[in-house]
Structure 1
Amino acid sequence: MPRACLVQALALTLVLTGGCASGRIPVRHEPSAISGRVVVFVPGITGSELHDRESGRVQWGNFRSLFLPRDGGYGLAVPIGGAEDRLEAGAPLLRVGTIPALRGDVYLPIVRAYEEAGYERGKNLLLFGYDWRRDSIENARLLARRIDAIPLAAGGTVQKVHLVCQSNATYLCRWAVRFGDVSIDEAERGMRKPAIRARVASVTLLATANGGGIRILREIDRGRRYVKLGGRKFRPEAFFTFESLYQDLPAGRADLFVDAQGAPLDIDLFDANSWKRYGWSIFGRDAARRAARAPEIFGDEATRLAVLQRFLDRAKRMQAVLKSDAAPWPEDTRLVSLQGRSHPTMNRAVVLRNGGGWRTLFLGDRELARHPELDGILSEPGDIHASISSQMTLSSSELRALGDSTHYFEGDHLTIAHQAETLEMLVETTQE
């Protein structure tokens, strides 16, 4: 493995995109081929910088923030206990690190592919940064307003906008295209507020779990490190405060949990009491003890339950609206899906009795090595995060618009966006 790739694999195991771009770069197109076109790239969760509102200091999105501070991720938590949230969104992450030996590309290969094709950053190549911790619907409304603010082309003609949506951005882009700048209540009534100054000509879904994924429950339940060796640990209670994560859980499924024999369990993922009963996330013994020492961030147990139920209810409503055809996919907007399907992908979880409590196990846990017969129940093909069935969880009108425009590439959820073939296809979809 090339040294640069080895360093990236070691130091930049991000939820968004990691790995090394290689191979051919899309050829440059004649200016006439991109005239009147604007590409808007929308990153996934963790894919935008977060800054301190007063000092402007980067709190997430540079090399340092992957390792420091050693605060359990509390500095990024969205306070539910009365403290002020001091963070605001910055630009999408293109590259992390400045020293060549400790530098890794995030979304830079995508940006460079479009620049090589003739697009110019800040003019007809726009990068949409947003606060990925917060409600996806509100971020979708911000995106809709950003699209509508794109200047008219020369001669006063409406620009053709091409949205490229990575991972969690599927919810933002699909909402913005189908509903525009409307609330959840308005969307449930079928209201639309489409852009006037621009027309969305195409949407490309890149490594998207359109129906959510059970892997998100593992993240909220256990926390994670984005750098495996020595990286900053994000505690479960910090992730607990990120509303966007709940909107990426799989809604509308009754088959998410099984016992040790693979028999289905009747557990409602979208009931806050289930989280308390099974000790998930902030309701686990250790997480609850830590959270009790920071009530200004995490409130008390009653507050946590109320906030969680609000998050879960809104997430369920959002997923239901997107799966319905309350506002059908526009007939003049092309839909393309670029996905991975070569990796076992978590699809269910095992819940077991553990003394007087419960233990939840996920694909890859050592305890499950004794139960290989469960592999076919707990997983299906996908990209490690997004299973094929989740990738295809779209409304009827979206599926009609998609048709046979689903393309599969090698790589997982993290690396597919750096593959040369993927980059070429991304650029091609904006030229048609």
Structure 2
Amino acid sequence: MTPPRSAPPHAKALALSLLATAVIAALSLWFVSAAILPEMLAERAISPMRQALLSSGVQIGFVAGALASAVLGLPDRLHPGRLFALCAALAGAINATLIVVPVGSGAAIAARIATGALLAGVYPVGMKIAVGWGLRDRGFLVGILVGAVTIGSAVPHLFALGGGTDWRLTVSLASLAALVAAVLALFVGLGPHHATARRFDPTVVGEAWRNRRIRLAFLGYFGHMWELYAMWTWAGAALGASFATLMPEADALFGARLLTFLAVALGGIGCIAGGYVADRIGKETVAIIALAGSLASAVFCAFAFGGPPVIVAAAFLFWGLTIAPDSPQFSALVADFAAPRHAGSIMTLQTALGFALTFVTVQATPVLAGLLGWQAMILLLAAGPALGLVAMVRLRRLMRSQEDG
């Protein structure tokens, strides 16, 4: 086995800085449709089902793209930086077609699905590059990458603030950012621990089910994903509806967009901080703390809905801070528990199933909010971290008992 090659001390910081910036820029494509939805609705009526599909279509595409990439072994055959660059550039170009296709049409939904599929060549490939730069600090490295994903997911709401009523400017800015990401990715170096990823192995389904520690980590991740993308996608709509009860509609929309950006971006900061702490106190402990905070925040947001804007804003900001730091730790835990030859495939399975679940919650959220109200819908989202918290507490007990034994 070839020993890891050495790298200049500054090379790691430079590579991770370029990578994080590229991920932030490329992931600005994910929530474009959610950020500009009010302006699109003002231009043309879109059914609730199509509104949801404009956002959940990205999840559909991502799941399909991630599985296809793993089965075909694309990261094995192509340089990961070049693969990242190609996918980011194509995703930006396809996103730009939203400017010319009919608003809310089947073509627009298809563009969102294709964008999601291409982002599967950005997020997982970025993760692969990041972990190649370290062993003992991988919790922190994964935290940086997921933090960049989180901040990037917030960016379209900032673009929407700058674009004002011109939603096409927001689309253009996100597409341009993806092209910038493609250029940056070409200059990201590979770390001394970089290795080829394994192709998906169907037999890992059995290992993931038989290994109780992996099974519990999966359940924790599913509870996390139940709320995460539904909150990120529809926080702006929920905040806007809450603020509109006490302030003019234009002010409510501006405040909702600004706070959505801040809430999601805070999650990125939480991911980085959580990754740093996880390497010291345990990945499962960080996940438990984040899930408990997210559960409490969601419940408080539900009961505060429609109340004083300052209280609602503070509740959503804390929810945004606590909803994401556990995300990288679930992947790191699975990598710890799985057989080395199956780790990549099991993480692929975990990610694919988790994002498939988000399709259900993102699609159902606006429909159920219309039927039950936003307060009830937010409480339904809180069921996710509650389930995840139970699973992770059980996992920690299992890990402690095995250490004692």
TMscore range, shorter length: under 0.3
Higher-helix-fraction structure: 2
Higher-strand-fraction structure: 1
Higher relative contact order (CA 8 A, sep 6+): 2
Q: With structure 1 as the length reference, what TM-score do the two structures score?
A: 0.25
